[in-house]
């Protein structure tokens, strides 16, 4: 939930007036007036009590960060916090994968979850918008790391037949729905952040005490007994008719260890990012895939972080986004994969046009 927290964390708010008086001009004119006049009680129109409302970051008060951002033409710290967060996601994704190869998927995932809770809790006590903006970068780093390493841990800890649907159905979709529900009942960005931390803490406890390390990583590190226990855990997800005996699991681990040892004796390399561009063919495939993923992410997050411009409730729009992901994700199979891809591409195109419709904000709070 942390990666999409700014749907509500920096939710849109409009400045209507001051001290009981409404202003009929543009918001920029109102901000210009506020710079030369006293205003004890600004009047905002909003659907969720976000950082924009609490810190009154509508007219961009002059701080050191404002001065710095103005040099780059950035007018909204709320929007910049999302940009900075997504930069953090890229950084975290790049670093965490390599760390998981060195220290283990479980250890790094657990570390990222703990750091996520710590920094998100710290962010919920932010004394200013500037502090909140800075915290979003670090939260983004941990989100990016979790997106990479967490997925690897899930994939390597499940039987092959369960990997695809777990990575398409039981991922983002339920989080959007739960996030919308949490936001509706909390109504305040600080309380929402702490409520999300409860879920993250539960995930960390489940990982720490209920899920073993990735069998593949354990085999790579020649930790046979732990690898056997991890595969016994994976085997528990199989139907009774398809389960392996302990002797069969032991044989599988022995063969895998033998293959790993042979690869090491032959002096095979330990691969890093650079090897994705080691040959022309591999570099082209990596660039094409990266461009495709970047384009999809650009559209997805562009829509997600601008749900306030779509007609309807911000809560319902967020929940519907989760439902839509669930429906499309459930169609991703060997039979319907190409169909769901085409359907999603067309839907993204239509949603892109629909975003031009701006919705009225219902709540009026002084």
Predicted confidence at residue 219, as pLDDT, reads 85
Q: How confident is the model at residue 359 (pLDDT cuts 50, 70, 90)?
A: very low
Predicted confidence at residue 80, as pLDDT, reads 87
Is 60 exceeded by the pLDDT of residue 149?
Answer: yes
The alpha carbon of 152 is separated from its chain's Cα centroid by a whole number of angstroms, namely 15
Q: Specify the higher pLDDT residue, 301 or 125.
A: 125
Pairing of strands 13-18, 364-365: unpaired
pLDDT, tens digit, for every residue of 70-79?
A: 777 777 788 8
Predicted confidence at residue 360, as pLDDT, reads 43
Answer whether 44's CB lies under 8 Å from 14's CB.
yes
Summarize the confidence of residues 169-187 as an average pLDDT.
Answer: 83
Q: How confident is the model at residue 358 (pLDDT cuts 50, 70, 90)?
A: very low
pLDDT, tens digit, for every residue of 78-112?
A: 888 888 999 999 999 889 988 988 898 999 999 99
CA distance 36 to 34: 5
pLDDT, tens digit, for every residue of 213-260?
A: 888 888 888 888 888 888 888 777 777 767 777 777 788 788 877 877
Is 50 exceeded by the pLDDT of residue 363?
Answer: no
Predicted confidence at residue 349, as pLDDT, reads 54
CB within 8 A of 335, min separation 6: which ones?
none
Q: How confident is the model at residue 365 (pLDDT cuts 50, 70, 90)?
A: very low
pTM, two decimal places: 0.80
Q: How confident is the model at residue 46 (pLDDT cuts 50, 70, 90)?
A: confident
pLDDT, tens digit, for every residue of 263-316?
A: 565 556 667 778 888 888 999 998 998 888 888 888 888 888 888 777 788 888
Is 80 exceeded by the pLDDT of residue 339?
Answer: no
Average pLDDT of the residues of the chain = 79
pLDDT-above-90 percentage for the chain: 19
Domains of the chain: 2-6+75-211+271-365 (1.20.1250.20), 7-65 (no CATH), 217-265 (no CATH)
Q: Which one of 116-120, 174-178, 274-278, 295-299 scores highest in mean pLDDT?
A: 116-120
Is 80 exceeded by the pLDDT of residue 355?
Answer: no
Dihedral (CA of 79, 120, 314, 176) sign: positive
Polymer length in residues for the chain: 366
CA proximity to 47, closest of 301, 303, 307, 300? 307
Across 159-173, 266-280, 316-330, least confident range: 159-173
Q: What is the DSSP string of 115-158?
A: HHHHHHHHHHT-SSHHHHHHHHHHHHHHHHHHHHHHHHHHHHTS
Across 34-43, 45-54, 201-210, 321-330, least confident range: 34-43
Residue 42 β-bridge partners: 18
On the CB side of 215, how many CA atoms lie within 13 Å of its CA? 21
């Amino acid at each position: 939930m942390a990666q999409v927290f700014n749907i509500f964390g920096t939710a849109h708010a409009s400045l209507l007036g001051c001290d009981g008086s409404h202003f009929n001009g543009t918001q920029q004119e109102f901000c210009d007036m506020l710079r030369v006049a006293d205003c004890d009680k600004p009047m905002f129109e909003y659907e969720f009590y976000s950082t924009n409302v609490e810190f009154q970051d509508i007219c961009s008060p002059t701080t050191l960060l404002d001065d710095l951002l103005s040099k780059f033409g950035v007018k909204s710290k709320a929007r910049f916090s999302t940009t900075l967060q997504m930069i953090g996601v890229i950084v975290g994704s790049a670093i965490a994968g390599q760390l998981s190869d060195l220290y283990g998927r479980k250890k790094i995932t657990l570390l990222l979850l703990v750091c996520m809770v710590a920094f998100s809790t710290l962010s919920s006590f932010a004394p200013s918008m500037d502090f909140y903006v800075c915290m979003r970068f670090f939260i983004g780093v941990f989100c990016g790391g979790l997106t990479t390493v967490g997925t690897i841990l899930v994939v390597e800890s499940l039987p092959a037949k369960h990997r695809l649907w777990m990575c398409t159905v039981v991922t983002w979709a339920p989080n959007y729905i739960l996030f919308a529900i949490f936001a509706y009942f909390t109504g305040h960005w600080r309380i929402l952040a702490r409520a999300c931390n409860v879920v993250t803490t539960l995930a960390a406890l489940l990982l720490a005490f209920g899920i073993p390390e990735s069998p593949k990583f354990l085999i790579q590190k020649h930790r046979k007994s732990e690898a056997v226990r991890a595969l016994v855990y994976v085997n528990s997800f199989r139907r009774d008719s398809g389960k392996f005996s302990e002797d069969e699991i032991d044989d599988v681990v022995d063969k895998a260890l033998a293959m790993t040892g042979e690869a090491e004796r032959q002096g095979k390399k330990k691969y890093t990012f650079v090897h994705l561009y080691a040959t022309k063919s591999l570099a082209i495939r990596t660039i094409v895939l990266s461009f495709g993923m970047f384009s999809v992410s650009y559209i997805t997050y562009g829509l997600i972080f601008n749900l306030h411009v779509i007609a309807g409730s911000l809560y319902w729009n967020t929940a519907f986004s989760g439902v839509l992901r669930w429906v499309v994700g459930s169609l991703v199979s060997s039979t319907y994969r190409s169909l769901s891809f085409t359907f999603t591409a067309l839907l993204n195109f239509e949603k892109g046009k629909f975003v031009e419709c701006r919705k009225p904000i219902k709540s009026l709070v002084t």
